[in-house]
Amino acid sequence: MKLFQFYIKTCMKKPYLIIAILSLLCITAFSQDVIRLQSCQNDLIGKQADSLKGLYSKDGFVLLKEASISMESEFEMPVIVPLTQGSWYQFVFIGDYSSRLYEVRMFDWNEKQVVFQQKKWGDVDGNVISYSYIPKFSEFHMMKPVQVNKQKKKNLCGYVMLFKKTAIDANSSVVSQR
Amino acid 171: pLDDT: 52
The pLDDT score that the predictor gives to residue 15 is 56
CA of residue 149 relative to chain centroid, distance:
19
* Interacting residues of 94 by C-beta distance below 8 A, sequence separation 6+: 45, 48, 49, 52, 127, 128, 158, 159, 160
Quote the CA–CA distance of 163 and 149 in Å, as a whole number.
27
Please list, residue by residue across 32-71, b when 16 or more beta carbons sit within 10 angstroms of its beta carbon and e when fewer do: eeeeeeeebebeebeebbeebbeebeeebbebeeeebbbb
Tell me how many degrees the CA angle 151-154-157 measures, rounded to the nearest 5: 95
Query: Which pLDDT score, from 0 to 100, does residue 38 have?
Result: 75
Q: What is the pTM of this model?
A: 0.72
State the DSSP H helix or E strand holding residue 171, giving kind and residue range, or none if neither: helix 167-177
- HEC profile of 82-123: EECCCCCEEEEEECCCCCCEEEEEEECCCCCEEEEEEEECCC
- Asked if 156 contacts 60 with a C-beta cutoff of 8 angstroms, the reply is no
| Burial classification of residue 115, based on how many CB atoms lie within 10 Å of its CB (0-12 exposed, 13-18 middle, 19 or more buried) | middle
Each of the 178 residues of the chain gets a pLDDT tens digit; together they read 555 555 555 555 555 545 545 454 445 444 445 555 677 888 999 999 999 999 999 999 999 999 999 999 999 999 999 999 999 999 999 999 889 999 999 999 999 999 999 998 777 677 899 999 999 999 999 999 999 999 888 889 999 999 999 876 545 444 434 3
